[in-house]
Amino acid sequence: MFADFLSNYGTLIKQIAIAVLIFLAFLLLRKIFITYIFRLLLKITKRTTSDFDNQLVMSFEKPMRVLIIILGIYFALAYLPLKEAQDTLLLKFLKSSIIVAIAAGFYNMAGVSSGLFEEIEKKFNVHIDKILKPFLEKIIRAVIVVLVVTVLLQEWGYSIDGLIAGLGLGGLAISLAAKDTLANIFAGVVIITDKPFSIGDWIYTPSIEGVVEDINFRSTKVRTFAQALITVPNSTLANEPITNWSRMGKRRITFKLGLQYFTPRDKLERCIQAIETMLREHPDIHKETIFVTFEGFENHSLEIFLYFFTITTKWEEYLKVRQDVNLRIMKILEDEQVPLAFPGRSLYFETPLDTRQQPQDKPQDKT
C-alpha cells in the first residue's frame, strides 16, 4: 500500500520538497542580504558627502526584503507541475510584485526627499523654499500611486481607456461635490506660489497666530504659542490678511515715559538728551529710526515719547534688549534725580475741613 502511494505521489512529494527547499534558500538569501549586502551598502553610502544615497538605500530596504520572499514563493511554485493558466497567473503576480516593490521604494524615497532637494540646490544653484518641499513630496507620491495603479491595471488586462473617459464625465459631479476641497487645493497652490510665509515662520491672521509647521493640499498646520496644533483650511488663509512677523527686518519698541510735573526744565532736557544718546550708542538698537521727544503735558505727568527699533527680531532676544533699555533709562533718571509720575488727584475744599473728633454723648442715667 505504501509502495502504491509512493508510486503514485512520490514524484509530487519530491517536487514539493524541492519547492520548499527553494523557498528556504530564498529566506536564507534574504538573511544574507540584510546581514551583509545591505550593511555593506550602508557603509559605502556613509562615506560619501551626501545623505541622498544613504536615504536611497534605506528607502528600498523593506521593499527588497518583501521582494526576496515573493521571488522565493514564485520560484518554489514555478517548480511544481502547474497548469499553463496557473503559470500565467503566477507570472503576472511576480511582475505585479516587482512593480509594487520598486514603486514602494520610490514612494518611501519621496517621503525623505530632503536630500534630493539639497543635491538639486547644490548642483543647479537654486533655492527650493521649505514650504514647497512637503508639497512636492505629496505631489510626487500621488504621481507614483497613479502610475502604479495604471501599470497594474494594464498588466492584469484591464483597459484604462474607459476609465479615462469616465473621469471626464464624472469630473463635473466630483467638482460640485468637492467644491470646498478644490477651493482649498487651489488656495494651497496660491500660497505656494505667492509665498506669504514658509515653514517655521511666525504668522498672524485675524483667525490664528503661531508658527507654521506644515502645508498640504487641503490645509495648513499652525502651532500656537499655547502649543496647540490648529489646522486651517487653505481657502481661509488665502482670503485673510497675513502678517509674517518672522520677516521683520527690525522690531519696534515704543512707549511714553511720564515724569512728575515739578521736574525742572533743564533736568527734563538732560534726561531726553541722555536717553537719546544711550539709544544711539546701544549695540542692539537700530540706528536708522530713533525718536526721543518731549511730547506734551498730560493730566498727571510730563510725557516723553520714545520710538525706536531693535536689530534682532527674535522674541526672546527682543525682550532682553527691551529690559536692558528700561534699566538704562532708570539709571539716567536716578542720576538726574527725576522721579517718575503716577496717577494721582488732589482735593481742595472751599471751607476748612474740621478733622477734630467730636465728643460722644454720654448715656442718661435712668435711675
**Would residue 112 count as lying in a domain?**
yes
Residues 252 and 317 in one domain: yes
Domain count, the chain: 3
Q: Indicate whether 365 pLDDT > 60.
A: no
Q: Which of 244, 332, 326, 340 is nearest to 285 (CA)?
A: 326
**Pair (86, 123) in one structural domain:** yes
- Is the pLDDT assigned to residue 168 strictly greater than 60? no
Q: Which three cell numbers stand for residue 129?
A: 523654499
Q: Is residue 356 part of a domain?
A: no
**pLDDT value for 332:** 94
Decide if 254 is inside a domain. yes
Does residue 125 share a domain with residue 50? yes
Cα–Cα distance for residue pair 71/26, rounded to 1 Å: 8
State residue 257's pLDDT score.
92
The pLDDT, as a whole number, for residue 302 is 92
Of 186, 217, 246, the domain-final residue: 246
Same domain? 225 vs 278: no
Residue with more model confidence, 164 or 288 = 288
d(CA 149, CA 135): 21
The pLDDT of residue 242 is above 80: yes
Instruction: Please state which of the ranges 4-8, 76-80, 344-348 shows the lowest mean pLDDT.
Output: 4-8
Computed from CA positions of residues 326, 332, 336, 337, in that sequence, does the dihedral angle turn out positive or negative? Answer: positive
Helices (H), 112-230: 114-124, 132-155, 161-177, 179-194
The C-alpha torsion from 228 through 233 and 235 to 237, rounded to 10°, is 10
Integer Rg of the chain from CA: 39
- pLDDT (tens digit per residue) in 244-258: 888 888 889 999 999
Summarize pLDDT for 26-55 with one digit per residue, the tens: 888 888 877 777 778 777 777 776 666 777
Same domain, 150 and 267: no
In a domain, 143, yes or no: yes
Write out the residue range of the structural domain in which residue 300 sits. 248-336
Environment class of 343 (CB within 10 Å of its CB; exposed 0-12, middle 13-18, buried 19+): exposed
The predicted structure's pLDDT at residue 327: 95
Per-residue pLDDT averaged across 265-271, rounded? 93
Model confidence at 322, pLDDT cuts 50, 70, 90, reads very high
Instruction: Please indicate, yes or no, whether residues 20 and 88 belong to a single structural domain of this protein.
Output: yes
Residue 293 lies in a domain: yes
| 266 and 211 co-located in one domain | no
In a domain, 341, yes or no: no
Assess whether 146 and 110 both reside in one domain.
yes
Written as one string, the DSSP assignment of 98-145 is HHHHHHHHHHHHHHTTHHHHHHHHHHHT----TTHHHHHHHHHHHHHH
Q: How much is the pLDDT for 179?
A: 65
φ and ψ at 258, to 5 degrees? Answer: -100, 125
Measured between its terminal Cα atoms, the distance across the chain in Å is 141
pLDDT above 90 covers what percent of the chain? Answer: 23
- Domain shared by 17 and 127, yes or no: yes
CATH number at residue 207: 2.30.30.60
Q: State whether residue 52 is helix, strand or coil.
A: helix
Please determine, for residue 205, whether its predicted confidence score (pLDDT) is greater than 60.
yes
pLDDT at residue 161 in the model: 63
| Structure confidence by residue, pLDDT tens digits, 272-319 | 999 999 999 999 999 989 999 999 998 888 999 999 999 988 888 999
SS3 call for 327: helix
Residue 310: CATH number of its domain = 3.30.70.100
Share above pLDDT 70 across residues of the chain, in percent, rounded to a whole number: 79
Same domain, 225 and 319: no
Tell me: do 23 and 152 sit in the same domain.
Answer: yes
Please give the average per-residue pLDDT across 210-219, as a whole number.
84
Pair 84, 123 in one domain? yes
Domain boundary among 100, 128, 158: 158
Residue 261 lies in a domain: yes
**Strands, sheet with 302-310, edge to edge from the N-terminal-most edge strand:** 251-259, 302-310, 285-297
Look at residue 144 in the predicted model and tell me its pLDDT: 86
Residue 171 lies in a domain: no
